[in-house]
Amino acid sequence: MEKINPEKISRNKQADKIIQFLDRIDAYEYFQNILKGEEQKPSFGDFENFLVRLNGIARDIPIKKRSADGDGVRLSGLFDAALVPDHKDKIEILKHAYDNLEKVEKDDLKYLLPAVINAVHLFKDGNGRTSRIIYQLLGKYSSKTDFEQNMKIGLGKYGRQDSLDINPGLIFSEVREIVLKKHGWQFGDNKRPIGPGSLSVGKGISGPDIRKLDKNHESYDIAKKCLDIYSIDGFYILSAIHSVLGDDRIEKFITDDYTVSKISPLRMIDQLKKDEWQKIIDSYFQLKKEHVETIVDSFIAPDNFEIREGTNLKDLFIERIRENYERNNKE
């Protein structure tokens, strides 16, 4: 007898609920009419509430408990070993994309909005499913039946593999390069970041010194928070450190106790005040905000984001999305 998979049953049940909900509000027809220019897009507030409702149904959350509950969420996937933007910035980023939809090619809307939903992670869970619902609603189909079949596939247990996964991590390094260059970073011939000013990547933060920090120090908690970010998103936190402290102060924190000169967190914690650590963290999250806004802007004005001759960031992103789908579905 075939073993019953509870997760598969649950996902199928939630997919049916979402399809029934979309049918009840005529969402398929409404979005198709928007794409044809026969309907105006809803207000941003209505769109935000629509996302919360979709996510709540997908996660089987009671109506009164549904919300944008993604505060503190972090990514840990193959492409996304990094924090997402600060929760207070997420709605602003999403609104920036939504307010500029008229400037985006209609065929690209189905990539932009899901990409932003995935990039900001507005919700604690179910961001991928929410993004795939929006992707399907903005697609073109031969019939409503075709739409619903595709929706069910996208919301299934293996929806991330069985349908297009609009994963902004596919262009993470390219977007990061654009952002870092805006903040004075130099790059080598192999595209590897070198660093801003005198802060080369070689002068990263000393790992052994992090482990020597005094847990009773008054700044330990906020310093550890900053240094934990370094362990998963080093280039952006180094850029934030350089932005807040500058070359001269950074030089005071350099230790030669190791084979390569490093920034010593032991020296940093003794000399930096709590508010300076917080400024570094705030600067880091500003960079994360810029990161997602760069993705949005690459759809609004693709010619401003040429990656190599004849290829812009938006087209590269779409190409990688399709390649990733084909790779996942090879027989």
Domain limit, last residue, from 126, 148, 165: 165
**Gyration radius of the chain over CA positions:** 22
> Has this prediction a pTM greater than 0.85?
yes
The answer as to whether 294 is a domain residue is yes
pLDDT digit string, tens, across residues 301-312: 999 999 988 899
The answer as to whether 304 is a domain residue is no
Q: State the pLDDT confidence band at 198, using cuts at 50, 70 and 90.
A: confident
Residues 28 and 157 in one domain: yes
Domain limit, last residue, from 165, 194, 217: 165
The answer as to whether 285 is a domain residue is yes
pLDDT digit string, tens, across residues 88-140: 999 999 999 999 999 999 999 999 999 999 999 999 999 999 999 999 999 99
Q: Is the dihedral of CA 135, 139, 143, 146 positive or negative?
A: negative
What amino acid is encoded at 92 in this protein?
E
pLDDT of residue 192: 86
Residues 15 and 149 in one domain: yes
Residues 39 and 145 in one domain: yes
The answer as to whether 326 is a domain residue is no
Residues 226 and 123 in one domain: no
For residue 4, pLDDT over 70 is answered with no
Residues 50 and 127 in one domain: yes
Residues 236 and 288 in one domain: yes
Any alpha helices (H) in the chain, and if so which ranges? 6-24, 27-36, 44-58, 87-99, 109-120, 127-137, 144-154, 159-162, 172-182, 207-211, 220-232, 234-252, 265-271, 274-300, 313-328
The stretch 169-174 carries a mean pLDDT of: 94
For residue 36, pLDDT over 90 is answered with yes
For residue 3, pLDDT over 90 is answered with no
Count of CA atoms in the C-beta half-sphere (13 A) of 269: 24
Residues 273 and 193 in one domain: yes
Residues 181 and 234 in one domain: yes
Instruction: Please tell me which residue, 79 or 13, carries the higher pLDDT value.
Output: 13
Residues 156 and 210 in one domain: no
Structural domain count, the chain: 2
Q: What span, in angstroms and rounded, lies between the C-alpha atoms of 317 and 165?
A: 11
**In terms of C-beta density within 10 A (0-12 exposed, 13-18 middle, 19 or more buried), how is residue 48 classed?**
middle
Residues 131 and 97 in one domain: yes
> Mean pLDDT across the chain, nearest whole number?
92
pLDDT digit string, tens, across residues 258-309: 778 899 999 999 999 999 999 999 999 999 999 999 999 999 999 999 998 8
Domain of 136? Answer: 6-165
Angle at 165 between CA 161 and CA 168, to 5 degrees: 140
pLDDT digit string, tens, across residues 230-269: 988 999 999 999 999 999 999 999 988 877 889 999 999 9
Residues 200 and 223 in one domain: yes
Beta carbons of 204 and 258 less than 8 angstroms apart: no
Q: State the pLDDT confidence band at 2, using cuts at 50, 70 and 90.
A: very low
For residue 18, pLDDT over 90 is answered with yes
For residue 331, pLDDT over 70 is answered with no
Beta carbons of 80 and 172 less than 8 angstroms apart: yes
The answer as to whether 105 is a domain residue is yes
